[in-house]
Amino acid sequence: MKFECDRQKLNEAVLNVQRAVSAKSSVPALEGILLTAEDGRVRLCGYDLQIGMTTEIEAQVAEKGSVVMGARLFGDIVRRLPGETVRFETDDKQLADIRSGEAKFSVAGIAAEEYPELPRISGDAGLTLPSSVLKSMIRQTLFAVAQTDAKPVHTGTLFEVEEGKIRLISVDGYRLAIREEPIRGGAKNSFVVPGKTLGEVMKLLGDGDDDVELILGQRHIRFQIGDYTVVSRLLEGSFLDYRAALPKESATQVRVSAQDFIASLDRVSLLITERLRSPVRCVFGEDGIRLACSTAMGRANDRLGAKVEGAPLEIGFNSRYLLDALHNAECDEVRILLNGPLSPMEILPCEGQSFLFLVLPVRLKSGGG
């Protein structure tokens, strides 16, 4: 194979596709990027058997062909090449000649035949969402995806499509995040996408209104994002019945600035370390919200203004879980619903119900901080 292309475009494509490459595999080809040159384009593919990513860039193709290049070394070479263009050529033994400016590399490749084929997803069961909307939906739910695989299905996000709405739900046993948006069309369906996949998809999504297409197969899903295609396996298993976990009533209702609450939590959490863990004590009352934290390092107290209605309440929380939820609220002011010291906190927008975060409390020891 033989082609010439823009170095900057090749570098960008390699950097993105590289994220889907297996860091270490018993199949050497999976640690590489498959390059295929034909018809004025070069296609790049990375695949770790769980998630695959492909893209194409324009190129002057003198000779068609395919080869697998070790992702890490190839990426390092392309990133450091001095010229504006890259000339790439392989011989019949998969030895790649890479040139740019005065720099020249000869690097061994792997036969393309050793690279596994990406799953083919057929059918038209799909959805279309604006890039900015999908990006926001993923960002507001990804933080609550389980990081351990005690129940593998919870290491992903549940997608629910029904009644002109799409809903994303993540849960990790300590918190739950729900994000909802109206859509046109879309057959009723539900499926679970791995959190790792959604993290990579989010990095490719822009903040504009360009459409992103989701095509659903029996065991895989495909995201079409501009020039990039992401293919991922779906997670199987019984996802939490999240509706049963939602509180039916609230005894205490709060309206507070999300940023003020974050700043106050950050302050009192300065005494918390990996070694010295302690819940933050929150007291909701007529004078707003009083926060306190006590560890072997000392004590911290703070108060912030808030509109509190209903029964006063003292309740404890893991500060990191609370901060994660507030950081992802994406609004100036939030509504907080509480129903006793052992019931979860609900965090919602003041207007509408586009998101709902649930954070479980931590049992407090007697005495104040």
Considering the domain architecture, whether residues 150 and 232 belong to the same structural domain is answered as yes
Q: What is the pTM of this model?
A: 0.92
Considering the domain architecture, whether residues 108 and 12 belong to the same structural domain is answered as yes
Q: Is residue 369 one of the residues assigned to a domain?
A: no
* Average pLDDT, integer, range 324-341: 95
Confidence check: pLDDT of 368 > 60: no
Considering the domain architecture, whether residues 176 and 203 belong to the same structural domain is answered as yes
CB neighbour burial string for 212-221, b if at least 16 within 10 angstroms, e if fewer: bebbbbeebb
Q: Is residue 236 one of the residues assigned to a domain?
A: yes
DSSP E strands in 26-155: the ranges are 32-38, 41-47, 51-58, 60-63, 65-70, 85-90, 95-100, 103-108, 126-130
Residues 261 and 304: beta-carbon distance below 8 Å: yes
* CATH number of the domain to which 99 belongs: 3.10.150.10
Each residue's pLDDT tens digit, 240-261: 999 999 999 999 999 999 999 9
Q: How much of the chain is helix, strand and coil, in % rounded to 5? A: 25, 45, 35
- From 54, 82, 114, the end of a domain falls on 114
Q: Is residue 365 one of the residues assigned to a domain?
A: no
Instruction: Give 322's strand partners.
Output: none
Among residues 230, 233, 220, 235, the alpha carbon closest in space to that of 19 is found at: 230
Counted residue by residue, the chain has a size of 369
- From 223, 242, 261, the end of a domain falls on 242
- From 54, 86, 114, the end of a domain falls on 114
Q: Is residue 75 one of the residues assigned to a domain?
A: yes
Q: Which amino acid is at 287?
A: D
Q: Is residue 222 one of the residues assigned to a domain?
A: yes
Considering the domain architecture, whether residues 34 and 6 belong to the same structural domain is answered as yes
Each residue's pLDDT tens digit, 3-62: 999 999 999 999 999 999 998 888 899 999 999 999 999 999 999 999 999 999 999 999
* Average pLDDT, integer, range 284-301: 93
Contacts of 191 (CB under 8 A, 6+ apart): 158, 159, 216, 221, 234
Q: Is residue 217 one of the residues assigned to a domain?
A: yes
* Average pLDDT, integer, range 269-278: 81
Q: How far apart are CA 364 and CA 369, in angstroms?
A: 10
Considering the domain architecture, whether residues 146 and 89 belong to the same structural domain is answered as no
Considering the domain architecture, whether residues 267 and 337 belong to the same structural domain is answered as yes
Considering the domain architecture, whether residues 147 and 252 belong to the same structural domain is answered as no
Rounded (10°) CA dihedral 85, 90, 96, 99? -20
Each residue's pLDDT tens digit, 119-145: 998 766 688 999 999 999 999 999 999
- What pLDDT, on a 0 to 100 scale, did the predictor assign at position 273? 77
Considering the domain architecture, whether residues 143 and 231 belong to the same structural domain is answered as yes
Considering the domain architecture, whether residues 103 and 31 belong to the same structural domain is answered as yes
Number of domains in the chain: 3
Q: How far apart are CA 369 and CA 343, in angstroms?
A: 21
Among residues 9, 82, 80, the alpha carbon closest in space to that of 43 is found at: 9
Range of the domain at 71: 2-114
Q: Is residue 133 one of the residues assigned to a domain?
A: yes
CA dist 147 to 154, 172, 357, Å? 9, 7, 18
**Helix (H, G, I), strand (E, B), or coil: what is residue 162?**
strand
Residues 37 and 2: beta-carbon distance below 8 Å: yes
Q: Is residue 120 one of the residues assigned to a domain?
A: no
* Average pLDDT, integer, range 257-285: 91
> In 55-115, where does DSSP find H-type helix?
71-80
- What pLDDT, on a 0 to 100 scale, did the predictor assign at position 57? 98
Considering the domain architecture, whether residues 140 and 161 belong to the same structural domain is answered as yes
Considering the domain architecture, whether residues 202 and 151 belong to the same structural domain is answered as yes
Q: How far apart are CA 29 and CA 256, in angstroms?
A: 53
Each residue's pLDDT tens digit, 64-112: 999 999 999 999 999 999 999 999 999 999 999 999 999 999 999 999 9
Considering the domain architecture, whether residues 143 and 44 belong to the same structural domain is answered as no
